[in-house]
Structure 1
Amino acid sequence: MMIPARLKLVFSLLLLAVLSACSSLPKVQPRPVLREGEWVTYDGKIMPYQTWPVPEGSQPRGIIIAVHGLSGASTDFWFLGDQMPRHGYMVYAYNLRGQGKDPVVADRGDIQSSRQWLRDMETFHLLVRRKHPGVPIIWYGESLGSLICLHTAANRLNDRRDPALLVLASPVAGLRTTVSGFRRWLLETAATLSPRSRYSLGDLAGVDEKKIQVTSNTTHGSQMAVTEHHINSFTLRLLTEIGRLLDANPSAVKRLRMPVLFLASPNDVLCSADQIQTLFAQVKSPRKRLLWYTRSYHLLLHDVQKEEVTHDLTNWIEARLR
């Protein structure tokens, strides 16, 4: 039987419409899940993580989720992982997207939006909580990780007691190096026009990275020379997103309700003692504490007072949970 040409045209148009609709359907993302050594986050990205469990045969009294800093990795928390399980606290540390352990090499040193970091933090927390129901969870954020923990906690207004405790180590309360309004406008404009342009931290700060003191006996340059996850440069949009988190710090700390601990050094290369003190004063939670480590620098868990840091941390956690 011959099909009329007009009917063929109708069928063809219907077929094109169906195919077009199918191609425009949103892709189904894999469900977030915690596997052995890796996890799937909210948008399907797979990232590595590691754990330091409590001694075999015992149950954790608490869970610490540790978030590293810029150009860092989960392995930075080896000392925390060595010390805290002895007191009954299991440690989880995941690697940030866009940093040195990102499986997609082209993504290292870049981030589309800081909201990705916050959603990753939220997703990882929920996965850990599901695996350890009823166990108190403590967030420990270091440097950039402190920004991520702070802003994620501040956004969790529907459940103010989860996480149970918040620890901000070497908190990025501001920048010692003042960026003028005009220079910042230039950076933001450049980030809009060329978001993937890359610069080293030394380029932006106008200093030699080999002279940036990060512990009492090492510099940023010497640390990164022996660090496999070191990133040489970062995109302008990543740096701009960090700047936006910094701008929102004062409003974020005012929304915190859980107990908060600041672990800080007056010698911190990123921000001054006055900036840290000012941010701490803005925390609205009545259960807050600020501890100073005067012989240390930015990397507290790698410096001469690291035993004091974990000792103070343990005592604070136990007092709050008790």
Structure 2
Amino acid sequence: MKAVRFDRFGGPEVLQIVDLPEPHPGPGQVRIAVRAAGVNVSDWKKRKGLMDGGLPQTLGYEAAGVVDEVGEGVVGVTVGDRVFGFDADGAAQAEEAVLSFYAPIPASLDFAVAASLPTSVETATRALDQLGVRKGDTLLVNGASGSVGGAAVQLAVARGARVIGTASPANHEYLRSLGAEPVAYGEGLTERVRSLAPDGVDLALDVAGSGVLPELIALVGGAVNVLTLADSEGAREHGVLFSRGDSGRAVHVLGEIGELIASGRLAPPPVRTFPLGEVAEAQRVSEAGGVRAKLVLVVG
């Protein structure tokens, strides 16, 4: 089967489409003929050697496709079903992938949109769970207009929280459409937030990693009420919780996405697609930043 792989660290040019043996599912797993696979910031960080040190490496943790093989003990899913979910081995950018956590694709979604959801929605849900966001809270989301930030905004609003989100002025109307009250990031952020919430902010979620943890701590009254998804060094320095997948995934949300979308509480992000063979260009776009759309590789 064709799959994305790199054998050395470097720029997008090190990415290759290679032939690899077909994977097979273990107990509780399913294999899919991949129709679409998500592209994430971690992809280019891995490619540059900023995360995992081993070589060679495959890529891709989220995918959507059609089940073509089921492992021992699998119930409720059969060959031919449309599913989406997580490839625990990070090899979903391929013609076939094994999913360890999966759910039926909501009928209203195509494969590309379905593949855009697992990582952003799981990450956002995990962060909200760890912060303990609940009805009546005021939550500040730093970096609210991207795929993870947008999911966090909508899921927090669905819980009954008031959400203030930072973004560039060009994205303020978008944040309003998600249910957030927008503020511009940059100098003077603390004053702008306090003018919106004179009674204070209860919790803060940092998605952007833009060096604002001290301001967030001041706004919520202590590091214990702040969580970052993007600033591990700042988290260590300021005593803030840094959340990553190995701290316990919120995979339960895969089975909840359909109802959230059907009820209007979660709108999928805009999607920009690339053929699998253009993975290098997709990573160039991802690494350049500033793209609100979720990047997805289309297979077949």
What TM-score, normalized by structure 1, do the two folds share?
0.27
Which protein has the bigger helix share? 1
Which protein has the bigger strand share? 2
Which gives a bigger RCO, structure 1 or 2 (Cα 8 Å, sep 6+)?
2
Bigger-Rg structure (1/2): 1
